[in-house]
Chains A and B, each alone.
Chain A
Amino acid sequence: MNTAESAVAAVNRFGLGAKPGELGEVHDGPGWLGAQISSGADGAQLFAALPSSLDYLKRESQYKLERREFKQADNPQRRALFGGDAMKSGVPNATVAAAETRKNDALPPEVRDIQAELRDDVFAEAAARFRLAATTSTPFMERLVYFWSNHFAVSLDKGPARLFAAPMEREAIRPHVNGRFADMLLAVETHPAMLRYLDNVQSIGPDSFVGERVSARLAQKGDDNKGKAGGLNENLGREILELHTLGVNGGYTQADVTELSRAITGWSTPVPRDFDPDARGGMGRFRPRAFYYNQQIATLPPTSAFVFRANAHEPGARKVMGRTYAEGGFEQGKAILLDLARHPATAKHISLKLARHFVSDDPPQSLVDRMTRSYLEHDTDLAAVYRTLVMSPEAWGEGARKFKTPQDFLISSLRAGQIDVGDNPKPLLGLLNTLGEPMFTPRSPAGFPDIASNWIDADALWKRVQAAEALSQRVALTNIQPLDLAQGVLGPHLDSETATAIKRAESMQVAVATLFASPAFQWRV
């Protein structure tokens, strides 16, 4: 591979696609990537103004508390909406739905303001992400951020996780993108997005203090423990093993899933009453805070978006993957996660996924093995694994190429066309949705697929042509020479037929659309 080819592979396959002029600045592909591994991702300032997860939790709590206060207040308007016969069974669903809508419209302005603000924040998060994608000068790092975000997939489809999906990427992925996998794993599994997405906030150890209280209360009522709060949920435990660490063939059993799920009972996020000074010390209808917390933090407002609820934690030693972990509260689950991170099956699983993402759908085994060794020798240090990847000849071989996912396609178009993302991300979000890769909304916790056969299809190609047209209309066409643009983006991979089609285009806009819609532009080579 000559210099020009290594530059274009570094920029288009390892990066996010060339900005005009970028290819000319790269003289040594592996060197350019190595510098990014050392420097880390740029663009932190674009996220500086965005709220933290703790801020989001506080405002969400405020919203819930005010809404509840309004519901409880005795006023005729409220009674009409919340207390009337409309909510009784037997009334058609449509009537109930209409009442629900009116209910929200009738909320006092300060409550609706919080709701609107939170909604705006979700779009501000998306806008910042698009803006950085379009402009970053460390695109290899940025691609890795997206890779890990998809590895630890959460979805906006799950209402309670919606506010936290983008913050999880900023708070749990970015800081560790060239650090240790073990640290990233722990940051993700303790983040409100993951804890809510995979239901761990609701999981309660059956023999914990809270679990026993709940069972006792239900028994008193003559109710058994079915379908009520107060039990184990193994959703997060299973996906940690199957998706986040060992992989589906990583050698774990149902017993390991259950044991890990028990170990992480109590891993949770603050709830509204934790932020409410009146509720914290008092009894009333709220239970005292000590019911939920370790003694030492019982009277303090939460300072983190993660809380460990000792009283919901299943007591006792746990056995996972043949190792026994003594009871130790939060430390027990943490110790298991760290061992899972260091497990050879995890090393293999992650090395294969990385190699597949950057090299080819079916990457050379020798490359995967070398990356696996590097991961284990460097105690889960991702920078070492990335260096092994970019220094390996297999990463630059003949067969190395990837088909762009819809997000790759969109971002590389934004970069090539220097499209101004602006403050309203809605059209771009709509486009990603239609192309089949809605932002932070994979169809399952496995994330979006990463092989070509999942993305290449008649309908998908047709939609790309339509999207190419729409995007070309947003390119500022002054001072653009379409053929120069194409050369600047595709480098040596601009074939003469594509060049001819672009040259012959009836207008600048059609020329740009032809570039974006061309088969050459659909590949990361």
Chain B
Amino acid sequence: MATSIQGRISRRQFLGGTLAAAGALVLWPKLTFAATGSDTRFLMVLLRGGLDGLEAVPPYGDPGYQQIRGALALSPQGSNQPNVPPAHKLDNVFALHPSLDYASQLYAQGQFMPLVAAAPPYWGRSHFDAQDCVENGTNEPHGAQTGWLNRCVAAMPGVEGLAVATVMPLTMRGPGNVTSWSPPLPTQVNPILLQRLQPLYAADTRLSPFFARAIDSQQNEPVAAQGATMQGVGIGKKKANLGQLPVLMGAAGGFMAKLDGPRVGFVEDNGWDTHANEAAILNRKLSELDAGLKAYREAMGDAWNRTIVVVVTEFGRTAAVNGTGGTDHGTGGAMFLAGGALRGGRVAGQWPGIGRSELYQNRDLHATTDLRSVFKGVLAEHLKVSDSVLESRVFPDSGKAQPVEGLTRAHSAA
């Protein structure tokens, strides 16, 4: 890339000199700690496509499991799949997929917790409607134009949210103070060009707040995030073994570990829709998630002890394996919680059973926990969002989804 003379003035020098003087510069809020009384962190990870909970958290102790899962069944005693090591035993009923090595170590330390048989309130099996429902936080798809995590941020004065994405996902859209970030193009932008574009964008009412934010967040890029590079650019190139998720989660940690960094973060990933050849795909994808957890934990440093991570998906998959070594869209699924502030080391949720007669519509694992019950529990205990705000603004009309209690160490100690 040719460098113009103007390009040699660094972006930082330019921004520091011009924008700060112009009063356009907004730093990460400094008042976070004082404003809310604690400095906890919350990261949500959305796995798009429908993670198969029965594969991620195999209920090997359920008498119906081996029968209905056949070739895909996993257990701590070994699996029916060639070249797949035994699952990590969690208790007498549940195990963890063999790819979730690091997660099983966290589990042993009480910092990881699967929650079984969970789903959003929409049970219609469409990816897009189910994701919309998970993200908007109401009882149904398209029930709100904003995301619940954004409304949560909006309810916490002085708090900023971060979405690790090129464009803002619905979860994080809304009135709250939220910015987005994704790995950079390896290009220095000519600071003079930026200077000229400023007044033009200021005049475009639809675009101006986003442009101002872009300039702002470029200046505040943390070191960890600058180190993150785009992977898998272009087609025909081999993707890095561990995929995008460790890069994105590591970058989220880089931002969120900072003293005045965003307290609420969001990361998303695709590729969980395992209609065929599920064993091989999940071996890889769950390794990516495992590496993502590790990257985030390491980037967070000491802040990990004040952190809870929630990993969710839009639905579980059929209990039985389909004709192509995969599973189709289902209902009840699994979610994960992690973090130093978590009271983990146990399997949560109410297990509905996986025998033929126990299935929903004769095909799916039932859902016994509304995802929002977990979100509400975390927001209440960990982020100290008040009940009235949770019920009225963040999750309207969610009275039936009572918050799950006792999720944090702090709460159970008190």
Contacts and interface: CB of A to CB of B under 8 A. Distances in A.
Nearest to B81: A227
Contacts of B235: 122-123, 126, 156, 162, 429, 438-439, 441
Interface stretch (A23-31, A134-142, A202-210, A330-338): A202-210
A59 B173 CA distance: 47
Nearest to B284: A93
Residue picked from A162, A504, A518, most chain B C-beta under 10 Å: A518
A233 B180 contact: no
Interface stretch (B24-32, B35-43, B125-133): B125-133
B324 A461 contact: no
Given A227-B70, A510-B193, A473 B185 contact: no
Contacts of B69: 226-227
A199 B71 contact: no
Contacts of A480: none
A257 B127 CA distance: 14
Contacts of B194: 465
Contacts of A223: 70-71
Contact of B166 (A87, A227, A233, A460): A460
Given A202-B323, A235-B328, A455-B167, A473 B233 contact: no
Nearest to B328: A234
Interface residues of A, number: 86
Contact of B234 (A198, A228, A429, A517): A429
Interface in B135-184: 165-168, 173, 179-182
Interface in A435-478: 435-436, 438-439, 441, 443-446, 452-463, 465-467, 469-470, 473
B77 interface: no
Given A89-B85, A444-B48, A459 B180 contact: yes
A90 B233 CA distance: 33
A248 B217 CA distance: 38
Given A97-B241, A497-B203, A225 B70 contact: yes
Interface in B4-34: 4, 6
Contact of A518 (B2, B128, B189, B197): B197
B270 A444 contact: yes
Contact of B71 (A89, A227, A457, A514): A227
B270 A457 contact: no
Contacts of B361: 254
Interface stretch (B204-212, B300-308, B367-375): B204-212
Contacts of B196: 501, 504-505, 514
Given A199-B276, A433-B234, A469-B187, A443 B324 contact: no
Nearest to B145: A453
A224 interface: yes
| 9 closest A-B pairs by CB | A231-B323, A226-B70, A227-B71, A458-B213, A462-B214, A202-B324, A436-B166, A519-B204, A458-B214
Given A156-B235, A444-B270, 11 more contacts: A89-B83, A226-B69, A227-B325, A228-B70, A233-B326, A453-B168, A456-B206, A457-B167, A463-B185, A495-B203, A504-B196
13 contacts: A203-B323, A226-B69, A226-B321, A229-B324, A233-B326, A234-B322, A242-B128, A254-B361, A458-B213, A459-B166, A470-B1, A497-B203, A507-B4
